[in-house]
């Protein structure tokens, strides 16, 4: 994009003319133009105060000249940047333009409306090419695309497992229908992987001889990072492979779609050290100056530029602050601020990431201790990236005496977490779609930090809540706060109805309609509330609106009835550990039930006795607060527990045989 000191392109001239940007300063005008090109027409919402009101209302109309200009800009960009270098892409798009003109127009219009960065956060040509190809191949019209789930699922599978991941996507497409276009998808995946792969190969000083780079690229595009690495092992020396794998492990994601319980699912979780235990928690003592600690951590980050090491350096400060029952938001903000001052990328520094890594690298007792302390002043992770299974650790802190409301959005709806924070003084982090930890994950705030607690807990969904997730966890949520943009609700009523059909009619639900163009104050319905655009009202009006909405939610939820025992049972059944141990007990009891002496002596129940002992010893450990644990007491407990757990595992193997 040219600056105001250079000759402007025809696109810039047209945008300045239609928006009358010549009446504002050049820097602001340039920023508006850049945002329009990258983020589409909807980016003007952020610049409304810099545009004449009459002009703004006119250009945001569905048939506005601005949208036509931006659509032409998208088409011209493909022609000038992609087509000269990728003739196969030109033929592919032209074919769809002729045979599926409606889909082609929807994709062009959607890109002009929302830009590229609404769905992918990159200006890399390879990523944009793959983005375009996926939309055409999977027939992602407006309704299928804006649903969110389909695109997120397709994108994640393909960038994780390469072309062979198509076999996992037959729910969205008939594989026979794209048999001829698999070559196009393969070429698009090559362009997606190329920049990162070639950069790593260069850093490892692997020489591109006899077409080695392209050969490796073919394997990665075919099988993804994980399986692709196995296929290239024999193409380079063992020393090269170790160095190459180390770089891949720390720079690019190597996700697994169905990881085992202890398997690392993200590039930031590759900390190959023994699990932290209570000794580390006890030794996390006072600091002379937390600001100096943060400065030291960031200085090291400047040198190694590796996020895993940064998170590792933060383990002890995080545990120390948790022991003091501090809110960790200030610590993360201090890290981000320090990186900002040193011009270091901090786009992946989020509390949710750090907590997940800390929990993943802690043993069972320490995990539960951390969660218990985290619950005092912070939100608690409920559902992490990956399979839809909750960890049993959260069972120990779940509040079974209060109902829990799940907040989620349908379609693109910004500001959900921000609204919850204003309403209930929670500390939910805002959704960042490019970060794995903000994709189909859930956090819970039990309100433990208030002297007068809320009558309910709040769960906040990051990213798109899939229908599968909504159905699976419905038993443990007693109500729903459903957010939706007014425009999206009017355009895609069928998607809204699909979600509603999954929710029990007897449960509380409140539809929060955001950014109404016709409302300047709250408007309540039987099961809905319509919000004006909060950015367009003054601070006092916003405060009064929030107070009124909070009071209305409290009033409508006061009659929710819960069954603590039923809730506890439902939670346990959704836990991976609970299901495993329950299956073991059931199988073994069935196995010995035919023995007529089974009821005569507890010796006939060796597995159950051992299992009971394990539960008892774990409970004894949990009762010991970190300030009361003595070394000799720990040494006495650990051998007993280790023996019992070893015996339980032995019997488990015996049962399986």
**Predicted confidence (pLDDT) at residue 506 exceeds the cutoff of 50:** yes
How far, rounded to the nearest angstrom, does the alpha carbon of residue 35 sit from its chain's CA centroid?
A: 25
**Cα gap 114→475, rounded to integer Å:** 36
pTM of the full structure = 0.54
pLDDT at 257 over 60: no
Cα angle: 637, vertex 640, 645; to 5 degrees: 120
Q: State how far the Cα of 247 lies from the Cα of 197, in Å rounded to an integer.
A: 10
Per-residue pLDDT tens over the stretch 288-327: 678 888 888 888 888 777 777 888 888 888 998 998 888 8
Task: List alpha helices for 348-390, DSSP H.
Answer: 351-360, 364-377
Secondary structure letter of residue 562 according to DSSP: -
Nearest CA to 28 out of 16, 41, 10, 14 is that of 16
500 in Cβ contact with 518 (< 8 Å) = no
* Contact yes or no for 20/59 (Cβ under 8 A): no
Q: Which of 123-127, 597-601, 618-622 has the lowest mean pLDDT?
A: 597-601
Residue partners of 530: CB distance under 8 A and separation at least 6? 486, 513, 516, 519, 522, 523
Q: Are 483 and 413 in contact (CB under 8 A)?
A: yes
Domain 379-562: which CATH class? alpha beta
pLDDT higher than 70, residue 616: no
Average pLDDT rounded to a whole number, residues 592-603: 47
> What pLDDT sits at residue 458?
92
The pLDDT value recorded for residue 122 is: 57
pLDDT tens digits for range 40-91: 888 888 888 889 989 988 888 878 899 999 999 989 888 888 888 899 999 9
Q: How confident is the model at residue 643 (pLDDT cuts 50, 70, 90)?
A: low
d(CA 440, CA 437) in angstroms, rounded, equals 8
Between the alpha carbon of residue 482 and those of residues 157, 502, 514, 530, the distances in Å are 28, 13, 10, 12
Q: How confident is the model at residue 407 (pLDDT cuts 50, 70, 90)?
A: very high
C-alpha distances in Å from residue 644, one per residue of 630, 638, 647: 22, 10, 5
Which is more confidently placed, 657 or 397? Answer: 397
Checking if the pLDDT of 627 tops 60, the result is no
Mean pLDDT of the chain: 78
CA distance 537 to 520: 8
Question: In the chain, what are the domain boundaries?
Answer: 11-55+63-247, 262-376, 379-562, 575-656
Instruction: Tell me what pLDDT residue 266 has.
Output: 37
- The per-residue pLDDT for range 449-495, each reduced to its tens digit, is 666 778 899 999 888 787 888 888 888 898 999 998 888 888 777 77
447, 402, 411: which is closest to 119 by C-alpha? 411
Place of tokens 């850093």: 203
What is the spatial distance between Cα 466 and Cα 527, in angstroms, rounded to a whole number?
22
Question: What confidence score (pLDDT) does residue 262 get?
Answer: 34
Q: Which two tokens stand for residue 523?
A: 């408007």
Helix H segments across 40-119?
A: 53-59, 65-77, 87-99, 101-114
Helix orientation angle between 65-77 and 10-19, rounded to the nearest 10 degrees: 170
Query: Poorest-confidence range of 164-173, 268-277, 369-378, 421-430?
Result: 268-277
Give the tens place of pLDDT for each residue, 225-238.
777 777 777 788 88
Pairing of strands 479-485, 457-462: unpaired
pLDDT digit string, tens, across residues 644-656: 666 666 655 555 4
Q: Which pLDDT score, from 0 to 100, does residue 290 have? A: 80
What's residue 188's pLDDT?
Answer: 92
**CA 271 – CA 269 distance, rounded (Å):** 6
Side-chain-facing half-sphere of 500: CA atoms under 13 Å: 13
């Amino acid at each position: 994009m040219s600056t105001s000191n250079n000759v402007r392109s025809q696109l810039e001239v047209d945008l300045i003319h239609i928006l009358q940007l010549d009446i504002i300063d050049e820097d602001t005008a340039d920023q508006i133009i850049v945002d329009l090109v990258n983020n589409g027409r909807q980016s003007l919402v952020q610049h409304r105060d810099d545009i004449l009101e009459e002009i703004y209302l006119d250009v945001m109309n569905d048939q506005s000249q601005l949208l036509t200009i931006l659509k032409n800009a998208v088409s011209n960009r493909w022609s000038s940047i992609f087509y000269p270098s990728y003739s196969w892409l030109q033929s592919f798009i032209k074919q769809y333009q002729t045979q599926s003109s409606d889909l082609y127009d929807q994709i062009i219009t959607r890109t002009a409306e929302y830009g590229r960065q609404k769905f992918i956060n990159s200006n890399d040509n390879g990523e944009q090419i793959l983005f375009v190809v996926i939309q055409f191949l999977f027939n992602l019209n407006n309704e299928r695309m804006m649903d969110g789930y389909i695109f997120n699922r397709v994108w994640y599978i393909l960038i994780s497992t390469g072309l062979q991941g198509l076999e996992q996507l037959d729910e969205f497409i008939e594989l026979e229908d794209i048999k001829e276009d698999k070559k196009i998808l393969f070429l698009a995946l090559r362009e997606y992987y190329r920049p990162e792969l070639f950069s790593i190969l260069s850093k490892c000083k692997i020489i591109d001889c006899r077409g080695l780079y392209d050969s490796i690229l073919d394997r990665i595009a075919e099988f993804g990072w994980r399986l692709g690495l196995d296929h290239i092992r024999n193409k380079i020396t063992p020393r090269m492979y170790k160095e190459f794998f180390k770089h891949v492990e720390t720079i690019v994601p190597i996700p697994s779609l169905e990881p085992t319980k202890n398997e690392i699912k993200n590039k930031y979780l590759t900390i190959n050290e023994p699990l932290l235990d209570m000794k580390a928690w006890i030794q996390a003592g006072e600091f002379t100056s937390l600001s100096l600690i943060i400065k030291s951590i960031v200085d090291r980050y400047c040198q190694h530029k590796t996020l895993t090491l940064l998170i590792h350096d933060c383990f002890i400060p995080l545990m120390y602050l948790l022991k003091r029952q501090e809110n960790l938001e200030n610590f993360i903000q201090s890290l981000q601020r320090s990186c900002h001052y040193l011009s270091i990328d901090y786009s992946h520094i989020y509390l949710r990431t750090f907590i997940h890594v800390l929990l993943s690298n802690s043993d069972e007792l320490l995990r539960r201790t951390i969660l218990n302390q985290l619950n005092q002043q912070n939100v608690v992770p409920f559902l992490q990236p990956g399979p839809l299974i909750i960890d049993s650790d959260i069972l120990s802190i779940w509040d079974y005496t209060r109902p829990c409301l799940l907040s989620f959005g349908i379609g693109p709806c910004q500001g959900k977490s921000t609204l919850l924070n204003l309403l209930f003084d929670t500390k939910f982090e805002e959704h960042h779609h490019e970060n794995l930890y903000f994709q189909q994950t859930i956090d819970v705030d039990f309100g433990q930090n208030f002297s007068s607690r809320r009558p309910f807990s709040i769960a906040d969904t990051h990213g798109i809540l899939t229908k599968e997730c909504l159905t699976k966890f419905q038993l443990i949520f007693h109500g729903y706060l459903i957010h939706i943009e007014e425009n999206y609700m009017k355009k895609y009523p069928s998607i809204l109805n699909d979600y509603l059909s999954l929710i029990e009619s007897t449960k509380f639900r409140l539809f929060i309609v955001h950014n109404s163009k016709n409302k300047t104050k709250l408007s309540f319905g039987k099961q809905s509330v319509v919000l004006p655009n909060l950015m367009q009202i003054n601070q006092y009006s916003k405060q009064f609106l929030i107070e009124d909405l909070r009071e209305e939610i409290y009033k409508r939820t006061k009659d929710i009835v819960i069954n603590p025992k039923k809730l506890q049972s439902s939670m346990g059944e959704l836990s991976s550990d609970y299901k495993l141990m329950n299956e073991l007990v059931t199988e073994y009891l069935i196995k010995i039930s035919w023995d007529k002496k089974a009821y005569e002596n507890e010796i006939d129940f060796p597995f159950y006795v051992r299992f009971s002992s394990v539960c008892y010893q774990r409970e004894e450990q949990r009762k010991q607060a970190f300030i009361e644990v003595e070394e000799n007491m720990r040494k006495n407990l650990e051998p007993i527990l280790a023996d019992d757990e070893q015996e339980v595992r032995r019997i488990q193997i015996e049962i399986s045989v």
